[in-house]
Amino acid sequence: MNIKNFRKIEWWIPLCAIILCGIGLVALFSASYDSGLEEFKKQAIWIAVSIIIMFIVMFIDYKLIIKISPVLYGIAIISLIAVLFTEEINGARSWFVIGDDLFSIQPAEVSKICVIAFLAYIMSIMQRKGRSEINKISKLGIIMAIIAVPLFLIILEPDYGTAMAYIVSIVLMLFVAGINKKYIIVAMAIVIIAVPVAYNFVLPEHAKKRIDTFLNPESDPRGAGYNVLQSKLAIGAGQITGMGILEGNQTQLGYLYPKSTDFIFSVIGEEMGFIVAGSVIVLNIVIITKAVQVAKGIKDEAGAYVAIGIAGIFLFHTLENIGMTMGLLPITGVPLLFVSYGGSSMMTSFIYLGILLNISSQRKNSMFNK
């Protein structure tokens, strides 16, 4: 990467991410204080390692990643199959645990970029004959088959939140590729029909309970609705400036669970207040907006698809995590990227950034301005 390309990099993206990590560390300090700051210490190490990985990935040509994406996709599928034979953790087989719970990896998180890169590779090959190629039934069938395999395996874990992140990412990629509106209408019709069918005949009881809780959490305030009600109380109690670090009632008295992952935004809202919580939302919006700008600014179609796919991941995690803590969306266990505790999500998030930075360094003329 020469100096000229270095200057093209969207430095606002990693800057916003690092600020989010800082806010998350402060929240984790409070959330893990009663347990000896173990999660806080691990997260600090993960952030340092992930930033180094980001800079390494930044100097790897994204075209090379796309070129080897068929191999990466194969490895991703193998890992998603292998994790199904591990022991259950909180009712799901989603983790490879190494050592005595010293280190764990969530294949579904790491596999996101593999699937996005492979789809970008396939879609760019399809469109060498023209952007209309993507609207042929046979080509759409191939794309659906590619995404169906990892989605099926992730649902088997089960991890519905991560599966939704894949879907949002792929939908944005198809939209940018120029998919015909008639397919969008058909897809919406299928969803409208499938939702009640899935609710009544497919979803397990715990998933149904989460949906019922979302619609009416007050119906079971001591059971299924407990977490979301406590979360809303915590966010509301913070008001403008917050109750202070280590001073939040819901956080420190153990009413929020899990407060270091799913409900970390609630901790921020309660102890740091609306100003900091609002800043978290703004910082995420900046990252998503900049990712979209990177997609619009790269002439290479495959690069644009990867960038918009990553933007879709960030968009879903932001909307879903913050939305569920406020009771606006169902609880799915989706982490708030760069903020929630978790090594796999932290590492993969910074890998996304490294790829985005590399793509942004190679921007010339937008593929949308041809």
Q: What's the average model confidence in pLDDT over 26-34?
A: 93
Q: What share of the chain is helix, strand, coil (3-state, %, to 5)?
A: 75, 0, 25
Q: Identify which of 138, 112, 63, 104 has the alpha carbon closest to the alpha carbon of residue 359.
A: 63
Distance CA 309, CA 315 (A): 10
Of all residues in the chain, the percent with pLDDT exceeding 70 is 95
User: Which residues 6+ apart lie within 8 Å of 10 measured at CB?
Assistant: 290, 293, 294, 356, 357, 360
pLDDT of 200: 78
pLDDT of 305: 95
Dihedral of alpha carbons 242, 31, 54, 113, sign: negative
pLDDT in tens, 198-253: 777 777 777 777 777 777 877 777 777 888 899 999 999 999 999 999 999 999 98
pLDDT of 343: 86
DSSP readout, 5-31?
HHHHS-THHHHHHHHHHHHHHHHHHHH
pLDDT of 161: 87
Angle at 47 between CA 24 and CA 321, to 5 degrees: 40
pLDDT of 368: 37
- Average pLDDT over all residues of the chain: 88
With a cut of 60, say whether residue 2 has pLDDT above it. Answer: no
Paired residues of 92 in beta bridges: 89
pLDDT of 54: 96
Pick the residue with more confidence: 357 or 370? 357
Q: What is the pTM of this model?
A: 0.90
Task: Tell me if 262 sits within 8 A of 342, measured CB to CB.
Answer: no
- Counting Cα atoms < 13 Å in the Cβ hemisphere of 4 gives 3
Pick the residue with more confidence: 265 or 105? 265
Q: Token digits for 351?
A: 């890998």
